Chain A
Amino acid sequence: MNWEVVIGLEIHTQLTTKSKLFSGAAVGFGAEANTQTTLVDLGMPGALPVFNKEALRMAVMFGHAVNAEIGMTSVFARKNYFYPDLPKGYQTSQMDHPIVGEGYLDVTLDDGTTSRVGITRAHLEEDAGKSLHEDFQGMTGIDLNRSSTPLLEIVSEPDIRSAKEAVAYVKMIHSIVTYLGICDGNMAEGSMRCDINLSLRPKGQKEYGTRTEIKNVNSFRFIEKAIYTEIERQMDILEDGGRIIQETRLYDPEKNETRSMRSKEDANDYRYFPCPDLLPIVLTQDYVDEIKSTLPELPSQKAKRFQEEHKLSEYDAGVLSSSRAMADYFENANKIAKDAKLTANWVMGELSKQLNQEQLEINQAPVSAENFGQLLIRIKDNTINGKTAKDVFQGMWQGEGSADEIIEAKGLKQVTDTGAIEAMIQEILDANTAQVEQYRAAEPDKQKKMIGFFVGQVMKASQGKANPGIVNPILAKMLKG
């Protein structure tokens, strides 16, 4: 049978507030266990939550960025369940009245097609602590540093139809929240985690099939793999005439499989009710408008501008604007180089290749955008050719100095003196008389292929410093005889 995949995503993004959602404790990753806590995060008797307005501001920013309705009155609710790393026995979240209502995102896939993914809602909630099952001799340790860390949970409509689309959507959310500066986007540290709701239905059927939920997937690659794996699992069951059980599953990247965590029957009744310790958040239109007016340029706007202002292709503009750091790097380098196409090629080419190789983020690159721009200037003004530039870039990456310093120190300056080049070519022609004879006897079509040999010899003799733009016409002329 021909199956259609239906996917909805819940993305938890950790907001970059300085302090927690309901306490003044600092938010941070990797501190000693239970050092970043207050009475509130520890759930001490009599402790009361105080709402962090910075988180509110960030949530409203996100709402604007995804074209959403802003909840002018939003209400915190308690989600009640027992777990040792949930100190109060409830999570303070939002249920009936979220801060961000319906919105949407237009997602562009690699093949250039665009699809609209509806956003159901986004709400503020506090994170739980962590249970540590190792190092405690059969017991469990509790670390409440993460307790009450602010999260924005972004819930999509079941509008996504493939793993690629899901990844593109998550990447877009990732790009938006990092652009807005409301999330550091560090998925490995859990700053962004994704729950995947997935079901299959025969193509053309209106009703949704029974779905499963894969919890806490924390990389783009795992999201894609988890979806493929789960599609295959569900398809095998359905093709064999079986039924999907509605349940929560866990993705195991090592075995590349999803495993059942708990079925719907075991699910908690969370007994949501409005939190009586917190007043409803009532916003004014002025507040909402003020945030809208101070919103930074978003990735889609930036991509459009790159196409118009820098005459980049849609693809290049899309890649360069996908992260704010990369877009900034490109723009800063281009300010120096003043050649958008060249800068785009080098940022997306050599720089990206090097970053990938060393698994670094662009803001960790040892070569600054300004220095990178200086290197590009030397390509533009023919001081060095592209091949040499790659070596210079390596030198810059290794900390050997600026582009000019390396060119100077290694004597890499291109030879542009026609007299010197003529002499060099004459020497090569004299040393390769047989090849010259062959060349001269050949058909013009063949000659075009044969000239490469001589160019190579010239480059070799000049140690790559001869300017190909000058070499080629002189060589052609001298070969004619």
Chain B
Amino acid sequence: MFEQSISTLAKQLKNKDISSVELTQAFLKRISTLDSQLNSYITVSDELALQQAKAADALLQNGQGTSLTGIPVAHKDLFCTQGTLTTCGSKMLNNFIPPYESTVTSRIQQAGAVMLGKTNMDEFAMGSSNENSFYGAVKNPWNLTAVPGGSSGGSAAAIAAGLAVAATGTDTGGSIRQPASFCGITGLKPTYGRVSRFGMIAYASSLDQGGPMAKSAEDCAHLMQAMAGFDEKDSTSSEIASEDYLANINAPLAGLKIGLPKEYFGDGLDAQVAETIMNAVKEFEKLGAIVKEISLPNLQLSIPSYYVIAPSEASSNLSRFDGVRFGHRCDDPKDLLDMYMRSRAEGFGQEVQKRIMVGTYALSEGYYDAYYLKAQKIRRLIKEDFVNALNEVDVIMGPVAPTTAFELGSKTNDPVAMYLEDIYTLSVNLAGIPAMSVPAGFVNNMPVGLQIMGNYFAEAKLLNVAHQYQQHTDWHLQTPEMAKGA
């Protein structure tokens, strides 16, 4: 039951082989049994889940609903959920119960899905290991001493361990793809503007994008059917109509042009990970794809560019957490300044404070041109690289991360090593294109994700490519030991 795809579960629900209440109860029970090992949930919303399951059963009883009706899913704790604690992984929002629902969670709810709870994450989505959570680190189901990746580590771990059928994540610099890679699941970061950011607590507004995380590309497509589309409440959301993400998922790949950027296979990439990725590429060749080497010359510049733009936006976005209207306020403030300083010093963790300071510095008078403007120029170069490359090929493939999941604590004292984790994912956000992580094998029993990048609004294409690969491989069907037999 915990390894079934959305399509299978939807069929069982429709045929009344199982009810949503039964399914939901089973998942809730499994969470209470297994999640103490993983810490993938910050909040489990039992009561609400059962209410929603009942409502879903009523719909199903009448033969109504969508493929998501009655399916238990989880949401990254960065999507505001009306009446349910939304912490963003921070002490700052330890008491924050939103009076409104994000567009993404609202649409998934409208489609009839059941919310099991809110998943753990790096504080304010800042991190690549899920070690920056006020609610404690998340463990990787494949190795409980390894990180699940971040920042959507809770969602990735929960899916890998069968604690949710699917989940939402957000990706600002790799936060869907890298944990998907580390936990052996499938994740899609859509084109910037494809999925509404309304009700998503902002980290870096020009880079943030919500997306689906699930066991397979097909499951991701089911979620996209609900999530994607224009939202008048988000001015940056695209008015281009969203596609039917399932319609062409079975299209054959013969003639597909795949570009392999040589910069993605240089120094710093683990040799066994490289080999795994190349094996996956060979699989595509067997399916009729044509592979050619391409170049994305400004890849190296994505790290400095990202680590100026994202903190700059974050420094402004996080100003609203001032202890005045919501969130943490220090005890007995002496005066206004004392309230600001202590509330923020107590409420924000170290990484968040660091990025606020970096961003504040980069935007300061006298530094703005040298940092922020320069970073924006680099961003344009990176975007041009992708546009040029995607004129030649249909999709670009490479690794998601240079290594498999690393040991907990191994990089916490080396921020540069931690930032280098994102080398293959950041540029996608800077360019705004969509990209996926698809399970492609194992190195020392730890999953490796293949990254598939595509043109603007080519999500359906990416899902098709990934789905065809998954029709011929079973990497995405593997289950970690801790999740077996429970």
Binding site for B on A (CB under 8 A): 39, 42-51, 78, 80, 82, 84, 87-90, 142, 269, 271-273, 276-279
Question: B319: which of A49, A84, A89, A142 is its contact (CB, 8 Å)?
Answer: A89
Which residues of the partner chain B approach A89 to less than 8 Å between Cβ atoms? Answer: 316, 318-320, 322
Q: How far is the CA of A277 from the CA of B65 in the complex (A)?
A: 34
Q: Are A48 and B233 in touch, CB under 8 angstroms? A: yes
Q: Are B319 and A46 in touch, CB under 8 angstroms? A: no
With contacts A50-B232, A84-B336 known, is A45 near B96, CB below 8 A? yes
- 22 CB < 8 A contacts A-B: A43-B320, A44-B100, A45-B93, A46-B98, A47-B198, A48-B197, A48-B234, A48-B235, A49-B235, A50-B232, A80-B316, A82-B322, A84-B322, A89-B319, A89-B320, A89-B322, A269-B364, A269-B365, A271-B365, A271-B368, A273-B316, A276-B236
Q: Are B201 and A271 in touch, CB under 8 angstroms? A: no
Q: Are B232 and A90 in touch, CB under 8 angstroms? A: no
From B124, which residue of chain A is reached at the shortest CB distance?
A45
Q: A480 → chain B, closest Cβ, in Å? A: 89
Question: B235: which of A80, A88, A272, A278 is its contact (CB, 8 Å)?
Answer: A278
Q: Which of B306-327 contact A (CB under 8 A)?
A: 312-313, 315-316, 318-322, 324-326
Question: A82: which of B201, B233, B319, B364 is its contact (CB, 8 Å)?
Answer: B319
CB of B143 closer than 8 Å to a CB of A: no
Q: How far is the CA of A65 from the CA of B413 in the complex (A)?
A: 61
CB of B80 closer than 8 Å to a CB of A: yes
Q: Are B319 and A277 in touch, CB under 8 angstroms? A: no
Q: How far is the CA of A271 from the CA of B233 in the complex (A)?
A: 26
Give B346-365 as 1s and 0s: 1 = Cβ < 8 Å from A's Cβ atoms. Answer: 00000000000000100111
Give B194-208 as 1s and 0s: 1 = Cβ < 8 Å from A's Cβ atoms. Answer: 000111111011100
CB of B102 closer than 8 Å to a CB of A: yes
Q: Are A273 and B205 in touch, CB under 8 angstroms? A: no
Which residues of the partner chain B approach A50 to less than 8 Å between Cβ atoms? Answer: 232-233, 235
Q: Are B322 and A44 in touch, CB under 8 angstroms? A: no
Which residues of the partner chain B approach A78 to less than 8 Å between Cβ atoms? Answer: 316
Which residues of the partner chain B approach A278 to less than 8 Å between Cβ atoms? Answer: 235-236
Question: A90: which of B86, B197, B201, B316 is its contact (CB, 8 Å)?
Answer: B316
Q: A437 → chain B, closest Cβ, in Å? A: 89
Which residues of the partner chain B approach A82 to less than 8 Å between Cβ atoms? Answer: 319, 322, 340
With contacts A89-B319, A89-B320 known, is A271 near B360, CB below 8 A? yes
CB of B284 closer than 8 Å to a CB of A: no
Q: Are A276 and B322 in touch, CB under 8 angstroms? A: no
CB of B457 closer than 8 Å to a CB of A: no
Which residues of the partner chain A approach B312 to less than 8 Å between Cβ atoms? Answer: 273
Question: A46: which of B201, B235, B236, B363 is its contact (CB, 8 Å)?
Answer: B201
Q: How far is the CA of A399 from the CA of B365 in the complex (A)?
A: 63
CB of B372 closer than 8 Å to a CB of A: yes
Q: Are A273 and B324 in touch, CB under 8 angstroms? A: no
Q: How far is the CA of A90 from the CA of B360 in the complex (A)?
A: 13
Which residues of the partner chain B approach A48 to less than 8 Å between Cβ atoms? Answer: 197-198, 233-235
Q: How far is the CA of A47 from the CA of B80 in the complex (A)?
A: 10
CB of B56 closer than 8 Å to a CB of A: no
Which residues of the partner chain B approach A142 to less than 8 Å between Cβ atoms? Answer: 324-325
Q: How far is the CA of A49 from the CA of B233 in the complex (A)?
A: 8
Q: Are B364 and A271 in touch, CB under 8 angstroms? A: yes
Which residues of the partner chain B approach A273 to less than 8 Å between Cβ atoms? Answer: 312-313, 316, 363, 368, 372
Q: Which of B76-111 contact A (CB under 8 A)?
A: 79-80, 86, 88, 93, 96, 98-100, 102
Q: Are A44 and B235 in touch, CB under 8 angstroms? A: no
Give B281-315 as 1s and 0s: 1 = Cβ < 8 Å from A's Cβ atoms. Answer: 00000000000000000000000000000001101
Q: How far is the CA of A43 from the CA of B206 in the complex (A)?
A: 18
With contacts A89-B319, A273-B368 known, is A43 near B325, CB below 8 A? yes
Q: B472 → chain A, closest Cβ, in Å? A: 40
Q: A46-B201, A89-B320 are in contact. List 11 more A-B contacts (CB 8 A).
A: A44-B99, A45-B202, A45-B320, A45-B321, A46-B197, A49-B235, A89-B319, A269-B364, A273-B312, A278-B236, A279-B235
Q: How far is the CA of A90 from the CA of B322 in the complex (A)?
A: 12
From A22, which residue of chain B is reached at the shortest CB distance?
B235
From A34, which residue of chain B is reached at the shortest CB distance?
B325
Which residues of the partner chain B approach A87 to less than 8 Å between Cβ atoms? Answer: 320, 324-325
Q: How far is the CA of A78 from the CA of B314 in the complex (A)?
A: 12
Which residues of the partner chain A approach B206 to less than 8 Å between Cβ atoms? Answer: 276
Q: Are A45 and B88 in touch, CB under 8 angstroms? A: yes
Q: A5 → chain B, closest Cβ, in Å? A: 30
What are the 10 A-B residue pairs with the smallest beta carbon separation, nearest first? A89-B319, A271-B363, A276-B205, A276-B206, A46-B199, A45-B201, A43-B320, A46-B80, A269-B365, A88-B320
Q: How far is the CA of A82 from the CA of B337 in the complex (A)?
A: 9
Q: How far is the CA of A48 from the CA of B103 in the complex (A)?
A: 11
Which residues of the partner chain B approach A47 to less than 8 Å between Cβ atoms? Answer: 100, 198-199
Q: A298 → chain B, closest Cβ, in Å? A: 33
Q: Are B80 and A277 in touch, CB under 8 angstroms? A: no
Which residues of the partner chain A approach B322 to less than 8 Å between Cβ atoms? Answer: 82, 84, 89
Q: How far is the CA of A45 from the CA of B340 in the complex (A)?
A: 17
Q: Are A80 and B319 in touch, CB under 8 angstroms? A: yes
Q: How far is the CA of A273 from the CA of B309 in the complex (A)?
A: 11
Q: How far is the CA of A269 from the CA of B236 in the complex (A)?
A: 27
Which residues of the partner chain A approach B235 to less than 8 Å between Cβ atoms? Answer: 48-51, 277-279
Which residues of the partner chain B approach A271 to less than 8 Å between Cβ atoms? Answer: 315-316, 360, 363-365, 368
Question: B98: which of A44, A88, A90, A269 is its contact (CB, 8 Å)?
Answer: A44
Which residues of the partner chain B approach A51 to less than 8 Å between Cβ atoms? Answer: 235
Most interface-central of B198, B201, B235 (chain A CB within 10 A): B235
